[in-house]
Amino acid sequence: MARRNSSSNSGGFLFKTGLFAALAGLAFFLFNQFGGKKSAQPTDTRPPIEIPDDKSQAPSMKTQEESQVSEEILPASAGEVVRHTWFALGYSEDHEQAEWVAYELTRSRLDENWAERPNTFRPDPAVRTESATPRDYSSSGYDKGHLCPAADMAFDAAAIDETFFMSNMSPQVPAFNMGIWRELEELTRDWARRFKHLYVVTGPVLTQPAKAQIGFSKVTVPAAYYKVLLAPDQQRAIAFMLPNQVSDKPVMDFACSIDKVEETTEIDFFPQLLKGLGEELEGSLDKDAWPINRTRYEQRVKVWNLRR
């Protein structure tokens, strides 16, 4: 009898232990299903997004506060405004490129040691509608022409890297890109050193019939480009409109007033800076106030124009 009582007690204990374990397991299951964090049972079966280790490849989504570009130098236009650290642009989805790029160019930045040119052409993740891609330019016969030159942002590795976003590119005839457009970019740096700082707005002329369209994105090949310069301390302004083609003419043959570029592009430049008395500056043109380097012109005609 004593042995049967021991067996009965042992069996009862095991039964109770098993029942307790089953109840505990059921409680744990119900907690995971209904009482735990939602993330414990994910319903999204898509693969996780990989964040690149290289910060230069991460999306550049600058807010107005993070960008170093002053609001007062931006043109008035209808395109999407994209802000990077040292330049901003107005993106035209219809043409898959910027209709303008604005930034400040200073002597002190140009005097810094230049960062290495990265040549990392890539789509701009900050463009909501998606930018063009390098593939759009492949075998097109046109260069990926910088609007904000890499050399203007070479004072900082991150700044020059951002100039290789495709939103900053526009299809340029190679001999134009490496010829008169390059000369104008170098003259602009000369003037920035002379005047200490300039406000620069540059871009394609998208109101004129296009030369062509290229790539899957149908990127517009502009017929011409413009550059608008303002030296605020000296109250000097000048603008240029250049055909997208090789040229042996002096750069100053293409100089004009800001008003002329505004009339052609339908973009209002420096609307905050040129109110009142500044409006007279928009309509003026004083070529003598912007000295040029004759040697650079001769180099362009004899060497740069013949490279391609």
| DSSP secondary structure letters along 31-94 | IIIIIS-GGGS----SPPPPPPSSGGGS-----TTT--S-GGGS-B-SSEEEE-SS-EEEEETT
pLDDT at 77: 76
Q: Rounded to an integer, what distance in angstroms lies between the CA atom of residue 67 and that of residue 247?
A: 36
Express each pLDDT in 56-100 by its tens digit.
344 445 665 587 888 999 999 777 899 999 999 999 999 999 999
Residue 29 in domain: no
Residue 51 in domain: no
Residue 226 in domain: yes
Maximum Cα–Cα distance for the chain, whole Å?
A: 123
List of residues 6+ apart from 34 with CB closer than 8 A: none
pLDDT at 1: 39
Structural domains counted in the chain: 1
CA 247 to chain centre: 28
Q: Say if residues 60 and 165 touch (Cβ distance below 8 Å).
A: yes
Q: Rounded to an integer, what distance in angstroms lies between the CA atom of residue 205 and that of residue 219?
A: 13
pLDDT at 166: 98
Q: Rounded to an integer, what distance in angstroms lies between the CA atom of residue 70 and that of residue 105?
A: 12
Residue 214 in domain: yes
Q: Rounded to an integer, what distance in angstroms lies between the CA atom of residue 217 and that of residue 133?
A: 8
pLDDT > 50? residue 53: no
Residue 53 in domain: no
Residue 12 in domain: no
Least confident of 128-142, 183-197, 263-277: 263-277
pLDDT at 78: 73
List of residues 6+ apart from 307 with CB closer than 8 A: 175, 178
Least confident of 1-10, 19-28, 113-122, 274-283: 1-10
Q: Which domain holds residue 206?
A: 62-306
List of residues 6+ apart from 189 with CB closer than 8 A: 105, 110, 151, 152
pLDDT > 60? residue 110: yes
pLDDT at 257: 97
Residue 4 in domain: no
Across residues 255-263, what is the average pLDDT?
A: 97
| Higher-confidence position of 58 and 158 | 158
Residues with catalytic annotation? 146
Residue 50 in domain: no
Q: What is the DSSP letter of 2?
A: H
CATH number at residue 154: 3.40.570.10
Q: Which residues pair with 224 in a beta bridge?
A: 243
pLDDT at 24: 54
pLDDT > 70? residue 8: no
pLDDT at 279: 80
pLDDT at 277: 62
- Quote the mean pLDDT of the chain: 84
Across residues 210-234, what is the average pLDDT?
A: 97
State the pLDDT confidence band at 10, using cuts at 50, 70 and 90.
very low
pLDDT at 60: 46
Least confident of 46-60, 77-91, 293-307: 46-60
pLDDT > 80? residue 46: no
